[in-house]
Amino acid sequence: MWYAQSGPRSKDTGKFHTRKPGGTEKHGGEKYRDWSYEFVSNQTGTSVKRINYHVTIIDPFGNRVEYLRGFSSIENARIAAHEWIDELLSKMMPTLPKTNLGTIPSVPNGPVA
């Protein structure tokens, strides 16, 4: 077999190109409306390299509640995190019943007895 003669894997003989494995890198976090979120990125692809950004959303009690992934920039991930938090908080807010409460009467002109 031809690959048996290629040499040990620890030595680069020039026949095969070694590549750095795509790693994950943290980019810090931010707070929004008492919720926090953290950014993570990873690099994919060998010939065409692409960096994808992901965001982990954490509630005010420190629980991880959502993981949004696949963004092309940190800014896109930040916008998605804000929209997700806003949508969740709007669902959590109690809605007022939509009833007709009437009109406020006008102030009387004459003396009030």
**Helix, strand, coil percent content, the chain, rounded in steps of 5:** 20, 30, 50
Q: What is the pLDDT along the chain (113 residues), one digit of tens a residue?
A: 444 455 555 555 566 555 555 577 888 889 999 999 999 999 888 788 889 999 999 999 999 999 999 999 999 999 999 999 999 988 887 654 555 556 667 777 777 65
Which backbone phi and psi does 81 adopt, to 5 degrees?
-65, -45
The dihedral sign for the CA sequence 34, 35, 36, 41 = negative
Give the pLDDT of residue 1: 43
- 3-class DSSP state of 74: helix
> What is residue 107's predicted lDDT score, i.e. its pLDDT?
75
The pLDDT, as a whole number, for residue 11 is 57
At 106 the pLDDT is 72
CA distance 76 to 65: 19
Residue 97, number of CB atoms within 10 A of its CB: 5
- Name the 3-class secondary structure at 76: helix
Q: How far apart are the first and last CA of the chain?
A: 113
CA distances from 108 to 64, 68, 105, 113 (A): 59, 59, 9, 11
The pLDDT of residue 24? 77
Q: For residue 91, what pLDDT is reported?
A: 86
| pLDDT at position 101 | 57
